Amino acid sequence: MGSALGFRTLCDNPLHHNIQWERLHMTAQLIDGKALARSMEAKLAERIRALPRKPVLAVLLVGEDPASRVYVRNKVLACERTGIESRSVHLPETATEEDVIRQVRAWNEDPTVDGILVQLPLPRGIDAQRVIETVALEKDVDGFHVGSAGALVTGREGFRPCTPSGVMEMLESIGYELRGKHALVIGRSNIVGKPMAMMLLEKDATVTVAHSRTPNTKELALAADVIVAAAGRADLVTADMVKPGAVVIDVGMNRRPDGRLCGDVADDVRDAAGWLTPVPGGVGPMTIAMLLVNTVRSAEMRLLAQ
């Protein structure tokens, strides 16, 4: 007997506890994050043209972390494509917490700045959470402020973190109905895992969060209709952990020893998942698109408020 999601039951008795599954080959459809991001940028460009001035995103990079430099460059390029003005400040590795906070406060008080982004991680010795709490709530386009996090948890309006927002857009783009589905989030960071779980819950999914101390991640993954892998470990999710037909979202951004970029999801998951996000070209461009969305929204609230 065939089942909807590519399983074939070898035992058809539903009361039998020891149902065995025989895997059928599947080839996942890819969710093209880059294309979706570009189409969102085009819509944003229209909204920007209706504003009396360009939205302004202030970006602070501290130190020389090579990955952070690439992320910041990509954010600045996306601003240019869309018609957002970016103002970048790069402080040296030796900058103090007070130097960083002084820059953030200057932007808080500048009425021409709509969004403030402090690229993480910050150099050792700087309390990132204290810096984040310094960002004015109404300019917190990263959605990392405790006020933004509180708004998300309680279902109020506020800026939402860009990566999980981008994932939700990707699920919507394939018309995926989350209500009643089992979603597994692997990873519990403040930036991705925790807000991701909240957003999935808001859409009526049943949500489980697995992390480095979870003993039965494979078992939880096999029961999941949606897996969001956000632990930062290459090959964390393998085909034998994926229910055939499941949606697998790869938030990972890792480098293999040979320098190749890869996510948290192993290549063979293509043969098990129904939908899969590529790395690169999946969640990454969507994260940036959502940052632009938050920045434009912030500008609209500032400029179009009667």
Active site residues: 75, 119, 142
Q: Which of 271, 265, 223 is nearest to 248 (CA)?
A: 265
Q: Which is nearer to ligand GUN, 76 or 222 (CB)?
A: 76
Segment interacting with ligand GUN (CB under 6 A) among 5-13, 101-109, 116-124, 265-273:
116-124
Selected from 117, 227, 248, 286, the binder of ligand GUN by CB under 6 A is: 117
> Least CB distance from residue 61 to ligand GUN, whole Å?
9
DSSP string computed for the chain: -B-TTSEEES---TT-TT--EEEPP--PEE--HHHHHHHHHHHHHHHHHTSSS--EEEEEEES--HHHHHHHHHHHHHHHHHT-EEEEEEE-TT--HHHHHHHHHHHHH-TT--EEEE-SSPPTTS-HHHHHHHS-GGG-TT--SHHHHHHHHHT------HHHHHHHHHHHHTT---TT-EEEEE---TTTHHHHHHHHHHTT-EEEEE-TT-TTHHHHHHT-SEEEE-S--TT-B-GGGS-TT-EEEE---EE-TTS-EE-SB-GGGGGT-SEE--SSSSHHHHHHHHHHHHHHHHHHHHHS--
x/- track of binding to ligand GUN for residues 225-244 (CB under 6 A): --------------------
Residue 120 lies near ligand GUN (rule: CB under 6 A): yes
Residue nearest to ligand GUN (CB): 120
Residue 131 lies near ligand GUN (rule: CB under 6 A): no
Selected from 103, 119, 134, 277, the binder of ligand GUN by CB under 6 A is: 119
Segment interacting with ligand GUN (CB under 6 A) among 19-27, 41-49, 115-123, 181-189:
115-123
Selected from 84, 118, 251, 289, the binder of ligand GUN by CB under 6 A is: 118
Residue 162 lies near ligand GUN (rule: CB under 6 A): yes
x/- track of binding to ligand GUN for residues 169-208 (CB under 6 A): ----------------------x-----------------
Asked if 178 contacts 304 with a C-beta cutoff of 8 angstroms, the reply is no
Segment interacting with ligand GUN (CB under 6 A) among 13-21, 117-125, 208-216, 257-265:
117-125
Selected from 82, 86, 103, 163, the binder of ligand GUN by CB under 6 A is: 163
Residue 142 lies near ligand GUN (rule: CB under 6 A): yes
What residues line the site for ligand GUN (CB under 6 A)? 117-120, 142, 162-163, 191, 287
